[in-house]
Amino acid sequence: MTAAIGIDIGGTGIKGARLRVATGALLSERIKYPTPPGGHPGDVLECVRHMLDDLESSSDELVGVCFPAVVRHGVTMSAANVSPDWIGLPAERLFADSLDREVHFVNDADAAGFAESRLGAARNVAGLVIVVTLGTGIGTALISDGVLVPNAELGHLELDGADAEHRASNAAREREGLSFEEWGQRLTRYFGHLEMLFSPDLFVIGGGVSTQHAEFFHHISVSTPIKPAELFNNAGIVGSALLATLNH
């Protein structure tokens, strides 16, 4: 399998492209649609159908989909910034049957983390890598010697009496008007907690704010090396397509 389609479903936008699985290079333009209001399953499915039409996709092409939820054996067990109708939904089977093709669903942070481990900042890193995306919340992926440990929702660890993401996400920084130095103190507390629990070999920080890593990485005081993500906004697309081919 040389090519596959990756689709990244989020609370505000749905992105998709065809890519070469060996390199992660896009073989098409990256298409983006706004997520339908309410993010209901049927509306999102129709949006994905139109996206596949735009990509002139054939029914024999594998489609990987990453989604903001815990995904267990193709069932979406939670729903972040989309309709609660996704909770407990056999989404993988629904999409595969409706689109008449093989579809593989995965958590969005897991897709991004896996892409970084195969083609990005964590490539060829031995031991445990924790990939952390800092955005509206905090998404995490655990990669052990290149193997994904799925559905690690470490943004919901309790820290200082609250969900860690409520205090340390990029949205929290913006909401509270924190300077990068002030935010770095909170990130030190968060990454230090992860360090104590997991003793990782590397942290990779993604999310849009990672493009500004020079502004805040030096304010994070932990002993574990930290690298910025390399695949940025394409990480979910690339990771979901890679995982679809592996699970084919």
- Residue 18's pLDDT band (cuts 50, 70, 90): very high
Res. 78: pLDDT tops 80: yes
Q: What is the mean pLDDT of residues 35-51?
A: 97
Computed on alpha carbons and rounded to an integer, the radius of gyration of the chain in Å comes to 17
Res. 187: pLDDT tops 90: yes
For residue 87, the model assigns a pLDDT of 98
For residue 247, the model assigns a pLDDT of 87
pLDDT tens per residue, range 96-137? 999 999 999 999 999 999 999 999 999 999 999 999 999 888
Q: What is the mean pLDDT of residues 29-37?
A: 95
- Residue 248's pLDDT band (cuts 50, 70, 90): confident
For residue 95, the model assigns a pLDDT of 98
For residue 232, the model assigns a pLDDT of 84
For residue 148, the model assigns a pLDDT of 96
| Pair 29, 5: CB distance under 8 Å | no
For residue 11, the model assigns a pLDDT of 87
The two domains 3-107 and 121-230 share their CATH topology (first three levels equal): yes
CA distances to 103, 107, 142 from 91, rounded to whole Å, are 9, 12, 23
Dihedral angle sign, alpha carbons of residues 15, 154, 246, 123: positive
Helix (H) or strand (E) holding 44: helix 41-54
- The residue type found at 200 is P
The CATH class for the domain spanning 3-107 reads: alpha beta
For the record, the structure tokens of 90 come out as: 């056999």
> Which residues make Cβ contacts (< 8 Å) with residue 137, sequence separation at least 6?
80, 155, 165, 169, 171
For residue 141, the model assigns a pLDDT of 97
What one-character-per-residue DSSP string does 50-109 give? HHHHHTT--TTS-EEEEESS-EETTEE---SSS-GGGTTB-HHHHHHHHHTS-EEEEEHH
Domain topology for 121-230: Nucleotidyltransferase; domain 5 (3.30.420)
Give the position of tokens 């932990």.
Answer: 222
- Domain range list for the chain: 3-107, 121-230
